[in-house]
Structures are given as C-alpha cells and as structure tokens.
Amino acid sequence: MKKGFTLLTILFAVLIIGIVIAFGFYKFSNRTTSDSAVLSSAPIKIGYLAALTGDYAAYGITEVNMAKLVVEDTNAAGGVLGRKLELVVYDTKTRNEDAVNAVRRMIESDKVCAIIGANSSGINIATAPIVNMGKTPQISTVGTNPLVTVDSNGKVRPYSFRVCFTDPYQGALAADLAKTDLQKDKAAILYNVGSDYAQGLREFFTKSYKKLGGEIVADEGYRETDVDFRAQLTKVKRSGANVLFLPGMGKDMALIIKQAQELGLDIAIVGGDGYGEFMNEIAGSAMKGTYWINHTYLSDPGMAPIFARYKKVYNDDCKEFVNGTMAYDATQWLIDAIIRADSTEGEAIAKALETTEGLELAHATLTISPEDHNPINKAGIILKVDDNLKTQFYKKVEPK
C-alpha cells in the first residue's frame, strides 16, 4: 500500500512538472509573438469577460460562443486592418473580485485593445475604474444599470460603453405594462438585495409605477444563493398584490414563479431582462402568461440566420438568445469601431465607439449619446410566454 502510494505521488509530481513546463513553453512562445507586435501580422487581441462558472454561467457561455463565431467569420473574411482577431476569454466566476483580477490581467499582461462583457451590471460597475485607468474601452452586453457608464456624480466614464438600454427605461416600461396594459394597481416586488442590477431596476420600477398611480404593497428581498422563496411569497399573498414584479436573474425568478404556483398564488407576473428561456424548463407550466421586458426576441428576422449557424456549430438551441444577440452585436460594433479608428489604441477606439451613429446591427440601429455612452432611442421588446411554454414576441415599445 505504502509503496503504491509513493509511486502514485511520483507519477503525480511528474504530471504537475510536465504541465508547468508545457505552460511555460506556451507562455514563452506567446511572448515572442507579442514582442514582435510591431509587425502587422500579430493578431489584434480582444478581451472577453463573461461568467463561465457560477450562477450566471449559462448566459456567459452563450456570449463567448457567439463572440467566437463573429471572430472566426471576420478572420475568414480577411481580418481587421489586415490583421487577424484573437479573443482572450476570462471567467468572472460571477464574482466581482475575480472579474477585477481578470480585467487587470487583460490590460496589463495580455494587452488587449478593448474588452467586451461582462453579462452583469455589478461586474461592469466593479471593473469600470480599472478599464478607465487603463484606457481600455469596455462594452457591456446586458449591463443595464446607469452606473455602468456614468459615475455616481453623473459624469460619463470615458472608456465604458454598453449596447443595451438602461434600467430607468426598462423600469418605466415594466411599470407601464403592469399599470396601463394589465390594469394592475397593487404591485409586489421580490429582488436580490446583493445585486446592483436588481436594486436599481426595483428603484426605477417603483418610481414609475407610483407616478402612474399604482401602489407597492410588498417589497421583499432575498440573497444571491437563496433557492427557497416561500416565506416571502406567503407575505406577498397576504399583501393582496395583483402583480408581481421580478427584477432578478433567471434561476431566482424561475424558482419564485414555480413556488408561487405551488402556494396557489394567482398573480400577474412581469419581469426584467434577466429572463432566460431555460426558466421555462425549470418553472414549467407556472411560466404561462408571464411578461418579460427585453432587448430582443428569438424570432427577430435579423438574428435568424445567426441563430441557425450557432445551432449548427455548437449543436445548442441558444436558449439564452438575448445574451447571444447582445454579444454578437457588441462584437460587431467593436470591430466597426476598430476599422473606423484605423487603430488598436484604446483612446482612438473609445473615440470611435463614442461617435457611433446609425450603425446597422443585427438587432437594432445603434447611435450612442456622447453624454452618457448609452444607446439612443433603443426600442424595448415585451415577450410573453404562451400556453405551449414558447416565448413569443408580445409588443415592441419605441421610446417616446
């Protein structure tokens, strides 16, 4: 036994040393290419920050896969500025501290020209000071909180951008849907107390809903890792609310809806863009008739060929189609900016991103406001889950 164990230890040690040496070679060979970056043949590095593990992994993996498709296509068509693109992917593990470290590494050691991601407002807010100090533009895919692109004094962060609409708009859309379309005047909110996104969206919904004459009768929090919401839902039931607003993420919202059905809670449900189609699998029949504010829809004609190709390459239905769309268009937008800037310098790319006007993307036409780096006049899409648990386009709301 003892002998076997020693042998095992030696084998293990050899394996570890082997990996270290191989990695060293890999690093070394990488270094030699980046040292010769003066030569125009070196690839242009684009950082991609996404949650590949942890609670938001399903969204992040889709984003990275989609971005890879764009990079492959662009390289096959000859690259950008005569150079190939290279995607440098880092996992945020759905944790701010890991995201901050990843962004540091991207800027300092990988020397990426720009960063796309991440798929969460909280992470974008946490990484914003670093990218702005490192003068590396960052495009958020679905970070809807206002603080992603402006600081708390309302000053624009020069290197932070987003391709999605913002939460004040999303909150107003949700409030209008609940009060005007559905005619529900007593709302309950269930939100994640630890999430910047959820806190912000809840605040904007509350503000707009009260302005429309509605009343918030229950306002309950939960924690990131929670899976049981029956205590909060029992309170919602007692409050007499007739609409439940959910500014959360897929897993929490699906479980809330499922448990609401179990408790016999008969209530209209309106939620934000944390929606993912996998929720229909988790919550099943409870999802019928729920409404979701979102950026895009699965049957968007602009995205149809792209989803078809995604399915062919990855053999996956792209259930997180919103993230897929936003990642696709964010990458296209960045490529367009690099071409217009005719440079891979952060400053020039940021300038080009800021002056984007009327850019035709797959899901929308993009014009950026220089004051806050938010897209101007982006339409909101309202989705509704039908009786066959398919997510259908309900209506499109153009900003007034």
Give how many residues touch other proteins by CB under 8 A: 38
- Using the contact rule CB under 8 A, the part of the chain among 64-72, 250-258, 293-301, 303-311 near other proteins is 250-258
Q: Which is nearer to other proteins, 133 or 313 (CB)?
A: 313
223 contacts other proteins (rule: CB under 8 A): yes
How many angstroms separate the Cα of 251 from the Cα of each of 36, 90, 181, 319? 46, 23, 27, 14
Cβ proximity of 249 and 320 under 8 Å? no
Q: Which of 193, 212, 304, 308 binds other proteins (CB under 8 A)?
A: 193
Q: What minimum distance in Å lies between the beta carbon of 261 and other proteins?
A: 8
Q: What minimum distance in Å lies between the beta carbon of 189 and other proteins?
A: 12
Instruction: Mark residues 260-279: x for contact with other proteins by CB under 8 A, - for none.
Output: -xxxx-------------x-
Q: Which of 81, 100, 282, 359 binds other proteins (CB under 8 A)?
A: 282
Backbone angles phi, psi at 156, to 5 degrees: -70, 140
Q: What minimum distance in Å lies between the beta carbon of 36 and other proteins?
A: 34
Of 210, 294, 307, nearest to 250 by C-alpha is 294
Q: What minimum distance in Å lies between the beta carbon of 171 and other proteins?
A: 21
Binders of other proteins in range 34-93 (CB under 8 A):
52-55, 57-58, 61
Task: Count CB neighbours of 386 within 10 A.
Answer: 13
Q: What minimum distance in Å lies between the beta carbon of 67 and other proteins?
A: 17
Q: What minimum distance in Å lies between the beta carbon of 359 and other proteins?
A: 32
Q: What minimum distance in Å lies between the beta carbon of 138 and other proteins?
A: 23
For 100, the token pair is 């901050």
Q: Which is nearer to other proteins, 35 or 316 (CB)?
A: 316
Q: Which of 247, 250, 375, 380 binds other proteins (CB under 8 A)?
A: 250
Q: What minimum distance in Å lies between the beta carbon of 222 and other proteins?
A: 6
Binders of other proteins in range 226-245 (CB under 8 A):
227-228, 230-232, 234-235, 238
Q: Which of 147, 174, 254, 338 binds other proteins (CB under 8 A)?
A: 254
Give the CA angle between residues 286, 245, 203 to the nearest 5°: 160
284 contacts other proteins (rule: CB under 8 A): yes
Q: Which residues bind other proteins (CB under 8 A)?
A: 1, 5, 52-55, 57-58, 61, 193, 220-223, 225, 227-228, 230-232, 234-235, 238, 250-251, 254-255, 258, 261-264, 278, 281-284, 319
